Amino acid sequence: ATPTSIMVGTGKGAERGILVRGGEALEGAHRLTTVVLDKTGTLTLGRPRVTDVVAADGLAEEELLRLAASAEKASEHPLGEAIVRAAGERGLALEEPEGFDAPTGRGVRAEVGGRSVLVGNRTLMEEHGVSEDGLAPRFEELSVEGKTPVLVAVDGRPVGLVAVADTVREEARKAVDALKGMGLGVVMLTGDNERTARAVARELGIERVHAGVLPGEKEGEIRGLQARGEVVAMVGDGINDAPALARADVGVAIGTGTDVAMEAADLTLVSGDVRGVARAIKLSRATIRNIR
């Protein structure tokens, strides 16, 4: 490859808001067969808000939200932050949680006013022997609407659900269409539950969904695709995505995401516009044509 064409390609990338690190990404991107997209923060804005509070077992809605938010007070997860914000908007006074623990990709556990509170997904509840009881139908309904329901348990009893929803990025649908139009396979990768992920994927025209993937498993998912002969770009924004970005044939970071993701990536989409993925691949194809 001539350094000149790479330099020209890199310059054109910069004009289009695509930051290229090293020439290999530009040389390699034309071989891609598959683009894997993280859901939260990449296809969605990553700023979820609480949409539903469903109290059960005789608990008042506000008390449910207050307990959940108190347990989430120390959480750095966007879901936890959304729950804390919603409680704040309703003027609820939170308690200081004790013994806070946040098992990755599952939720949080804390003591609130001497009560043991769990907020998280089904795996978290199963790990603590909490049955969903009557909450399962509502859980399914909310998921089908593309919302992420989290279960709340107090002292081992399921007491309700808090649903959180994130807004799909306006340009995401066009980004998916452009990639498909170029003959590339498109895959959604997320830690979120299957139903919610499928609902969001349908909205975007994505058929291949890998849901319920724990943060530590994202890299393995990329390896799995590579083992089947696919040449993979991974697009992500979070700290969790960094190993997968590094593992992918081409790692693409969303510029509005975390520094850790950008450090692990070959390409960064400065403005956070996911349509940049298709643009970068087109640029790579053009750069290679100039080289040959």
Minimum distance, C-beta of residue 236 to Mg ion, in the bound complex (Å) = 6
Find the binder of Mg ion among 10, 40, 121, 287 (CB under 5 A).
40
Q: What is the side-by-side order of every strand in the sheet holding 250-254?
A: 18-20, 267-269, 250-254, 232-236, 34-38, 185-189, 208-210
Considering only 114-122, 129-137, 220-228, 272-280, which stretch makes contact with ligand ADP by CB under 6 A?
114-122
**Residue 48 touches Mg ion, criterion: CB under 5 A:** no
Contact 241, 261 (CB under 8 A): yes
Q: How far apart are CA 80 and CA 70, in angstroms?
A: 10
**Residue 148 touches ligand ADP, criterion: CB under 6 A:** yes
End-to-end CA distance of the chain: 8
Find the binder of ligand ADP among 150, 172, 250, 283 (CB under 6 A).
150
Inter-axis angle of helices 78-89 and 61-72, nearest 10: 130
**Residue 41 touches Mg ion, criterion: CB under 5 A:** yes
**Partner whose footprint covers residue 106, from ligand ADP, Mg ion, none (CB < 5 to 8 Å by kind):** ligand ADP
Minimum distance, C-beta of residue 114 to ligand ADP, in the bound complex (Å) = 21
Considering only 52-60, 106-114, 171-179, 251-259, which stretch makes contact with ligand ADP by CB under 6 A?
106-114
Q: What is the CA radius of gyration of the chain?
A: 21
**Residue 120 touches ligand ADP, criterion: CB under 6 A:** yes
Applying the rule CB under 6 A, the residues between 176 and 215 that interact with ligand ADP are 190-192, 215
Considering only 36-44, 65-73, 149-157, 200-208, which stretch makes contact with Mg ion by CB under 5 A?
36-44
Minimum distance, C-beta of residue 41 to Mg ion, in the bound complex (Å) = 3
Which of 69, 230, 283, 266 lies closest to 164, judged by CA? 69
**Residue 80 touches ligand ADP, criterion: CB under 6 A:** yes
Is 38 annotated as catalytic? yes
Considering only 85-93, 103-111, 224-232, 268-276, which stretch makes contact with ligand ADP by CB under 6 A?
103-111
Minimum distance, C-beta of residue 120 to ligand ADP, in the bound complex (Å) = 4
**Tokens found for residue 42:** 């990449």
The catalytic residue among 38, 237, 241, 266 is 38
Place of tokens 């992920």: 197
**Partner whose footprint covers residue 151, from ligand ADP, Mg ion, none (CB < 5 to 8 Å by kind):** none
**Partner whose footprint covers residue 163, from ligand ADP, Mg ion, none (CB < 5 to 8 Å by kind):** none
* Positions marked active-site: 38
